[in-house]
Chains A and B, each alone.
Chain A
Amino acid sequence: MTQMTIAEALRQAIREEMQRDERVFCIGEDIGITGGFGGAFTITLGLSDEFGHERILDTPIAELGLAGVAVGAAIGGLRPIADVQYGDFLFLAMDQIVNQAAKLTYMSGGTVKVPLVMRAPVGATQRGAQHAQSLEAFFTHVPGLKVLAPSTAYDAKGLLKSAVRDDNPVIIFEHKRLYGSKGPRSVEGALSPIGEVPDEEYLVPIGKGAIRRAGKDVTIVGKLLTVYRALEAAETLAKEGIEAEVIDPRTLVPLDKELILASVRKTGRLVIVEEDNLSGGWAGDLAAIAAEEAFFWLDAPIKRVSAPDAPPPFAPVMEQFYVPSAERVVAAVKALF
C-alpha cells in the first residue's frame, strides 16, 4: 500500500496504462510542455519526460478540435485520454462529445467503437462562474457515454484504468478540491484526501457503487466532494442518534441502482447531495428512480441538497453558501424525522 493523493493516483493510472499499452496516449492543453504545468492540476506532470511529446500531446487551445481528434484517433485504433483544463470547457466540445463520440457506435449499427476517455475537473474553487460548474447531469443525460465520478485515490486510479480499457467513450469527472495538487497549482480550501492505494495492479469495475458508512436510519447519497460532506454530516447525526448510511455511486452511468435502492428499502429515507444546480440535476433523476422503485419503502419525502439555481459565485462567502455544506445535509436529514 502507498499513501497518495487523487492527483498522484490519476497520474499513476495514466503511467501504468501507457506502459501497458503503446496505443494509450494523452491529448490536451498544457499537459506536456517542458517547464509547463502538467495539465491545469498537475495530473500529467513529468509524464512527457517519461513518454515523450508524441504520447503526451499538447494541443492548441481548441477544445472542439482536440475532442474531435481524440474521437478520430480512438476510431483509428489508439486509446486517447483527453483532458480539458476545466470541465466548463466541455461545452466548447459538445458536438464532438454528444453528437459524435456518443453516437457513432449506434449510428454505425455497432460497427464502430470509440474508446475515448475524457477527463474533466469540476467543482467550485473561488474562480467564479466559468471555472466552477458541476456538469455531471449534462452528460448522464446522453445515451452512449459512460460517466465516472471517483472520490478517493483508490477509485480514481482503478476507475481511470478501467476507463482506458473500456471500448466506449467515458467521461471521468474529477473534483478540484479533492485532487491534492501541490505547489502553485494547489487549490484554496481543498480537502485533498489522501488514501491507500495498493502497489499491485487492480481495477475498479465501472458500474459498482460503494457504501462509505453503514447505517440504518437514512441513506445519504453523495458524489465527488459531497461524499465527504455527507460523511461529515453522518458523524454529526450519529451524535444525535441518527445512523446514516452514506453511499458513493462512483459511477453515474451505468448506475449501481440496486445498491442505492437496497439501502433506501432498508432505511426508508433518502437524501441526495450534489454540487450541481438543483433543477434538472442528477439528484432529481435519482430521486425519480427511488420514487418509482422504492416508494412503498419510504417513510419520508426524498430530499435533494444541491447548489441553488444560480451560477457559481466568486466571493468565498457566497461560494460557501452555494456549495452544499455538511450543515445543510444535517438539516435536510433532521427534517425527515
Chain B
Amino acid sequence: MSESSINPLALYRTMLTIRRFEERCNYLFMQGKIPSTLHLYIGQEAVATGVCAQLRPTDYLTSTHRPHGHAIAKGVEPRAIMAELFAKATGCCKGKGGSMHVGDMRVGMLPAIAIVGGGIPIAAGLALAAKRLHTDTVAVSFFGDGAANEGAFHEGLNMAAIWNLPVVFVCENNLYGASTPFDAVSRLPDVAARAAAYGIVGDIVDGNDVSAVYEAAGRAVARARAGGGPTLLECKTYRQCGHSRSDPRTYRSKEEEAEWTKRDPIQLLAGRLLEAGQADQSALAEIEQEVVALIDDAVAFAEASPAPAPEDALQDVFW
C-alpha cells in the first residue's frame, strides 16, 4: 500500500485494534491479571493511526507513558505488547519495561519513554543520525500537551529547527496533563502556535478525525523526508478514560465527556465509511471479528507465556 493512498478500512482496523486491545487490558487489569497501572489511549486512536500510517517500519518513533496505541499502530506485535503487560518473559521488553515502556526497535519504536517530554530531544537525535547517515528515515515523537511545557520540548525543537532535521513532533493535546487543564498552564491555547518560536511549520488538526490526521501527517512526513525540516503537528483530541486506572475524573464535567464521546474517532470513521458506501455493516463486523480474534490470541499467548526468572533482573544492565 503506498503512503499517499490508503484504504480507510485499514485505518479503521488499526483504530479498532487499539480500542479493543485496551478495553481488554482494562478488563484484565480489573481481574488482577495485569499488575501495576494502565494509561489508556481510548479516544485518541485516530492520532497514532493516522500518523503511523504515513511511516515506514524503518522510521523511528518515540512514545510516552500512554504508548499502547502508538505501539500497535507502528506494528509492534500485539502478542508481545500483551505479554509485556502480563509481565512475562516473552514481552517486547522481556518483562523489564511494562505498560509504560513498550516498544520494539525492529519496527522503529524505541521503548516508550515515560518521563514527560523525554522523547523529544531523543527523536531529534535519531533524526540527526538519519540525516548524517544519508538515509531518508524520519523520526516522529508523540507527546501530550503537558510535555509542551517541559524544557526538553524547547531544547529539542530548537535544535531540530536549527539543524533542519527530519523529525515530526506530534502533540496530542487531550486537554489535560493528568488533572490539570491545558488552559491553566499555557496562555496560548494552541501548542502548534509555539512552532513560530522555532521558525518551523506548525499545524493544527482535528485529532479525532483520522483522515485529517493522516493527511496532515503526510504533509509533515513528506516535508521531513524531502529535507524540509521539522513540523510541530498538534492533534486536538480527548482522553476518554482517566489519566491512569486510579483516576475518578472529578476534575472535568460529565457534559464535556459526553460531548467528546459523541465525537468518538472510531464512530466518526465508521459513520463516514457507511455514508460513503466504502463499507457496509457486514464488512465492519468482519473487521470486528478479526480484531477480537487477534486480541484473544494475544491474551492466550500472554497467559501461556513463562514469567521471567527473578534473577533476570540482573540481565541487560549493560549491552
* Interfacial residues, chain A to chain B (CB-CB below 8 A): 23, 25, 54, 59-60, 62, 64-78, 95-96, 99-100, 104-115, 143-144, 146, 167-168
Contact = CB atoms under 8 A, between A and B. Distances in A.
B147 interface: no
A107 B119 CA distance: 14
Interface stretch (B12-20, B31-39, B108-116, B263-271): B108-116
B173 interface: no
B317 interface: yes
A144 B314 CA distance: 11
Nearest to A113: B319
Given A60-B155, A65-B158, A107 B111 contact: yes
B210 interface: no
B258 to A, nearest CB: 38
Given A75-B125, A76-B125, A110 B94 contact: yes
Contacts of B91: 109
B158 A60 contact: yes
A105 B118 contact: no
A114 B132 CA distance: 17
A144 B317 contact: yes
A298 to B, nearest CB: 30
Nearest to B104: A111
B283 interface: no
A65 B130 contact: no
Contact of B156 (A69, A105, A146): A69
A77 B129 CA distance: 6
Contact of A65 (B110, B129, B133, B156): B156
Interface stretch (B95-103, B188-196, B235-243): B95-103
Given A72-B129, A76-B60, A78-B133, A109 B122 contact: no
Given A108-B97, A109-B93, A109-B94, A65 B155 contact: yes
Contact of A72 (B123, B155, B162): B123
A107 B93 contact: yes
A265 B142 CA distance: 55
B158 A110 contact: no
B126 interface: yes
B6 to A, nearest CB: 27
> By CB atoms of chain A within 10 A, which of B122, B127, B315, B316 has the most?
B122
A68 B121 contact: yes
Nearest to A78: B129
A95 B128 contact: no
6 closest cross-chain pairs (CB), A and B: A72-B125, A68-B121, A65-B155, A76-B129, A109-B94, A110-B316
Interface string B272-290: 0000000000000000000
Contacts, number: 150
B146 to A, nearest CB: 15
Nearest to A55: B132
Contacts of B124: 65, 68-69, 72
Given A64-B151, A100-B122, A111-B105, A105 B317 contact: yes
Nearest to B125: A72
Contacts of B317: 105-106, 143-144
B168 interface: no
B155 A73 contact: no
A168 B316 CA distance: 11
A217 to B, nearest CB: 37
A253 B113 CA distance: 25
20 contacts: A62-B158, A65-B154, A65-B155, A65-B156, A65-B159, A68-B118, A68-B155, A68-B156, A72-B128, A75-B126, A77-B129, A100-B122, A106-B317, A108-B110, A109-B97, A109-B316, A110-B94, A143-B317, A167-B319, A168-B319
A72 B158 contact: no
Contacts of B133: 23, 76-78
A99 B139 contact: no
Contacts of B94: 109-110
A78 B132 contact: yes
B93 A108 contact: yes
A112 B120 contact: no
Contacts of B104: 111
A167 B105 CA distance: 16
B198 to A, nearest CB: 11
A233 to B, nearest CB: 35
A25 B132 CA distance: 10
Contacts of B130: 76
A197 to B, nearest CB: 28
> By CB atoms of chain A within 10 A, which of B93, B125, B317 has the most?
B125
B121 A76 contact: no
A95 B118 contact: yes
